[in-house]
Structure 1
């Protein structure tokens, strides 16, 4: 699902939660984008000159041709293209886009490391597309709560305690293709 925000006036910050397969782009300085991540990855991209930014949240790196178009929003290739295109359509310039990548944890041992696959895909996508990767936090073994202020570029991460892994129980059912830290808070500016 794709969203593009406008700039309505109101008091205080307005949180917008992004779930798997969604993205949101806005130029509203009062919006803070939030998500919860396990092995999934969220890309937080912005154009600092245009004052516009956005976030996506994807479940798997590549496209599974057997799933068809209905599930394509779950995949990194599609999610990244949608986010970049939404930013460009709202006035961002590709050469100015900068990003922070979060997620890609290994929450379940003994199975394919989907988190590593997602993290590697996101880094490679940024390099391949010539997008500046200026920070974030990928990999590890803990879930994360992410906040991103898309206009300023500020990001905040809180690592979730290991005993909250039931939040990510759904990830145990993921059938991924074969592969081709510490608890605390981190704030990036």
Structure 2
């Protein structure tokens, strides 16, 4: 079941879900930007004077050297987009503060994508002279992040892997039709 990403909750706040490849910004004090992360990173930026903030959500740090373009899959693009969108809303880069969340290495046998993502976010923010006021990265748990963009307040809750429902094997039905087998 999918819920309206701009649904109003019981506290009269408007929840905006930030999915992979997205950037959302707001100066509205009733807006809560929210996301769920595994190996992905969410960077939350805030300008306390302009009272504008934003969040991005990226899956991969940056394209390989053989790729020419960085698109919405890549953190390098989404970090730039978040900063530039906030600048258009009156924020100043010199006043921005950052929180970074996620970057968990959820599956032990996979490459450390989460670690690469968090390293990219930190490197970008340091290069741009944006102070990181809070970080909650790494580990092996998923996270749920809620960010009040206009005030710069955030909440991060860890989701222990044991809290997830157990995977149920599904039987595979096969139907043979000559030399081609359909699953």
- Which residue in 1 is equivalent to 2:108? 109
> Structure 2: how far apart are the matches of 1:27 and 1:43?
17
Deviations 1:124-146 (A, max 9, x none): 11111100100030101100000
Alignment of 1:21 with 2:9, yes or no, is: no
Contact 1:107 1:165 in 2 (8 A): no
- Which residue in 2 is equivalent to 1:170? none
Deviation, structure 1 residue 165: 8.1
Deviation, structure 1 residue 74: 1.1
**Counterparts of residues 36-185 of structure 1 (less than 5 Å):** 36-64=36-64, 69=69, 72-163=71-162, 164=164
> Structure 2: how far apart are the matches of 1:161 and 1:111?
18
> Structure 1: how far apart are the matches of 2:112 and 2:156?
22
Matched residue of 1:119: which SS?
helix
| TM-score normalized by the length of structure 1 | 0.78
Contact 1:143 1:165 in 2 (8 A): no
> Structure 2: how far apart are the matches of 1:50 and 1:102?
23
Deviation, structure 1 residue 151: 0.9
How many residue pairs match? The answer is: 156
Indicate the structure with greater helix content.
Answer: 1
Q: Which runs of 4+ in 1 moved over 6 A?
A: 65-68
Deviations 1:55-85 (A, max 9, x none): 000001012466665x710101000000000
Deviation, structure 1 residue 111: 1.9
> Structure 1: how far apart are the matches of 2:92 and 2:135?
21
RMSD: 2.0
| Long gaps (5+) in structure 1 | 1-10, 168-189
